[in-house]
Amino acid sequence: MQWLSKGLSLILLGVPSFATGSGHGNPIYVSNGQSIQSAIASAPPGSQIIVTAGTYAEQLTIKTDGITLVGHGAILTPPASPTQNECTGLAGPDTNAGICIVGSQVALADFVVEHRKVISVGRRVKNVAVTGFDVRGFSGPSITAVGGENVAITGNHLFDGAQYGALSVGSLGSTIDNNAIESTGDLKFIGICMDDNLGGGVTVKQNTIQGYVIALCIQTNHAQVSNNDATNCCIGASLDPSIDGIQLTANHFGPTDPRCAQGDPPPGAYGVLIAGSINAVVKGNVIEGFTVAGGAPGAESAAIVVLDDVFTNTGALATDNIITGNVLRNNDYDIAVLTNGTGNVVQGNVCTTPPELCG
């Protein structure tokens, strides 16, 4: 079986009025027909902004510390004419985020693949929280934190973010939890991505993800990723080259989407892809239904694959990773260890193939 398929390489490759309140006083309310962005722009640090039920065709930018943005039946959709802000082009040319949480004087590298990397942050935006929103149909991330600190993205329903449901990049202490991230049509790109090595300390837990090529993209040292549920995705979790100390625990991945076995080349189906990462702990996950049965020629699948970096040419070896206590069932193949790295431990997993790596 040719585990390093072409397909796998490809995918890895005029202002309305609103009520006001102080940062430590009454909440600010925004009603249907009013402007959320106007409320954000005039709010002092520490304000709570409550957005009532309705559909708001806006892109939002949050640069003020301590803003808590709460949706009560609020639906955010792209405006007729996109607004240029710091997140424009973040996930590729002409892409725009639904909600852009961004620090000051953020320097970004040019776009190469996935998203632009953060080079430096002049000042982080701190303690921003976004909760309770339906965000629908944006060309980039539904919600993103760029150069943030202690940003919380929680309890939102993110539909059809073409490139990302949620993205944290160049941030510190981000929390992404209890969100529902869903594609209602074609497979979208990445459900949640954490690229916070300029900052660190990211926690991603109790999210549901459906209909993405990659459910969880982990590019942050010591990321804590637990109790997430990803279905109808081609890759449950991708652990990137040289990323150190990822804790991937108690997640549920699968079954995969039948479309992952189609195309030229087909993406394939992989529950957890450890691609040159180090010191990861992959424990207590349930990975099931990763199959390409009836798919296009060359389609491949496995529940867990351990391999070296063959995608970004860093030469990173998968080293000292621990894979234990996982339940792998109804997959075409359960565990494939294809690395030249040393110190990897595979034991105590409930699976069938290959027998020497199961039990």
Confirm whether 255 is domain-assigned.
yes
Confirm whether 346 is domain-assigned.
yes
Q: What is the CATH number of the domain that holds 232?
A: 2.160.20
Domains identified in the chain, total number: 1
* 157-213 pLDDT, tens digit each: 999 999 999 999 999 999 999 999 999 999 999 999 999 976 678 999 999 999 999
Judged against a pLDDT cut of 70, whether residue 310 lies above it is answered with yes
Confirm whether 183 is domain-assigned.
yes
Q: Domain span at residue 314? A: 6-357
Identify whether the C-beta of residue 76 lies closer than 8 Å to the C-beta of residue 133: yes
Judged against a pLDDT cut of 80, whether residue 231 lies above it is answered with yes
DSSP H helix total and E strand total for the chain: 2, 34
Taking CA atoms, 108 is separated from 105, 120, 137, in Å, by 10, 7, 24
* pLDDT: which is higher, 111 or 333: 333
DSSP 115-170: SPPEEEEEE-EES-EEEEEEEE--SSEEEEEESEES-EEES-EEE--SSEEEEEES
DSSP 9: H
Whether the predicted model's global pTM rises above the 0.85 cut: yes
- Residue 199: the pLDDT is 61
Confirm whether 136 is domain-assigned.
yes
Confirm whether 336 is domain-assigned.
yes
Confirm whether 1 is domain-assigned.
no
* 33-69 pLDDT, tens digit each: 999 999 999 999 999 999 999 999 999 999 999 999 9
Of 187, 93, 88, which Cα lies nearest the Cα of 146? 88
- Residue 301: the pLDDT is 95
Q: How would you classify the pairing of strands 175-177 and 203-205?
A: parallel
Confirm whether 11 is domain-assigned.
yes
